[in-house]
Structure 1
């Protein structure tokens, strides 16, 4: 157990929970194995990493994360309208169904059907948590320099 504060170049073992302010759990490691990540490895969005900076092993904190620091505000221009015939005939299209699209770089881009009306299908490409305030609870178990060999 070290007294090393979390910063760039550290490997962190932690438990975390992401919840809505009403307590609904989105994701949590508290009931599973703790997560280990390197600061800057993009396992955790940069804005969430910023909350960890300076914490040490043994620290436990809860942060309220506004949409701007979480997954952004809901952007109406990220909702696209498609024609029904652009989807395979056997595809279930109803609100809440997630569909995976390929973007211009052939990366996977998930979208959620938000509305189906006649021949029009609206697909929302906003992050499902966009526009939401989240609670980010962390328990820091260990902090070590990345260069340490195991």
Structure 2
């Protein structure tokens, strides 16, 4: 049986649970997600393609994939420090009841809230207690301090270089048909041409996908990564792109209409009575969260949605 090594591209099936409660918080299996109440209508289910060691899954799981055999099932336990982190008392903040009421919110224990930092970043928390005009809010991750249990199976170890690139596209752009993407690989360089699928994917989604893919492909050992169209081309305003296309078309037409050369290597002489053409030359994107929590009033998730 083939064993997994760091840098391998694999397809992984898994289900993650909280050891202390048995709660399922993540899974690649559609039926399991439905039974656990975490099913997402637009979610993508089935074995997920990842590069081992690239950080595509939680750190404690990623580290323990090395050495596993393809086709065998395993149970992996991840400690808090390599999962969602340890609980930080500094991330528990106290607000006045008035701060909530001014936002039209009546807080209660367990209520999810959000605050917005000065930089516009949203930080999620959960109300712990409401007492004596004071509201305690926990901004730790809900699973901080918990041990995680993963039931995993390495379904496949991808060997072919082209298929490895396709697997990374599937990971980053799951809605794109990777079989339509034109891929060329060399020893240290790779070209990924998305032009055949441009009509099937949102431009901003493709920009983000290319940025993440470049990191993934360099992790796989490619030193030169080229995308068509590039991120820069995708970010250009439509009118600028149109202008460049016209310029390129004009250059092609100019080449086609250049005077033919005579057998002696010179250009054909102008006919009698015709003037020689005049040539023109034209230059033609944790501790800080504590401070943010103190400086910004909370809002419920419902209030955020109304905004």
- Normalising by structure 1, we get a TM-score of 0.78
Contact 1:6–1:56 (CA under 8 A) maintained in structure 2: no
1:138 equivalent in structure 2:
152
**Structure 2 stretches of 5 or more lacking a match?**
33-44, 167-307
Q: How does 1:59-70 map to 2 (within 5 A)?
A: 59-70=72-83
1:110 equivalent in structure 2:
124
Provide the aligned C-alpha RMSD in A: 2.7
Contact 1:14–1:140 (CA under 8 A) maintained in structure 2: yes
DSSP 3-state at the match of 1:148: helix
Contact 1:72–1:130 (CA under 8 A) maintained in structure 2: yes
Q: CA deviation at 1:6?
A: 4.3
Taking the aligned partners of 1:104 and 1:86, their CA distance within structure 2 comes to 17
Taking the aligned partners of 2:119 and 2:154, their CA distance within structure 1 comes to 37
Q: CA deviation at 1:72?
A: 2.1
**Structure 1 stretches of 5 or more lacking a match?**
none
Q: CA deviation at 1:101?
A: 2.4
- Change in 2 beyond 3 A, CA 1:146/1:90: farther
Contact 1:6–1:12 (CA under 8 A) maintained in structure 2: no
- Of Structure 1 and Structure 2, which has the larger fraction of its residues in helix? 2
- Of Structure 1 and Structure 2, which has the larger fraction of its residues in strand? 1
Greater relative contact order (Cα 8 A, min sep 6): structure 1 or 2?
Answer: 1
Larger radius of gyration: 2
**1:62-102 deviations in whole A, cap 9, x for unaligned?**
01222222222222111011222333543241111111223
2:28 equivalent in structure 1:
29
Q: How does 1:1-150 map to 2 (within 5 A)?
A: 3=2, 5-8=4-7, 10-21=8-19, 23-30=22-29, 31=31, 33-39=45-51, 42-87=55-100, 88-103=102-117, 105-144=119-158, 147-149=161-163, 150=166
Matched length: 148
- Normalising by structure 2, we get a TM-score of 0.42
Q: CA deviation at 1:138?
A: 0.7
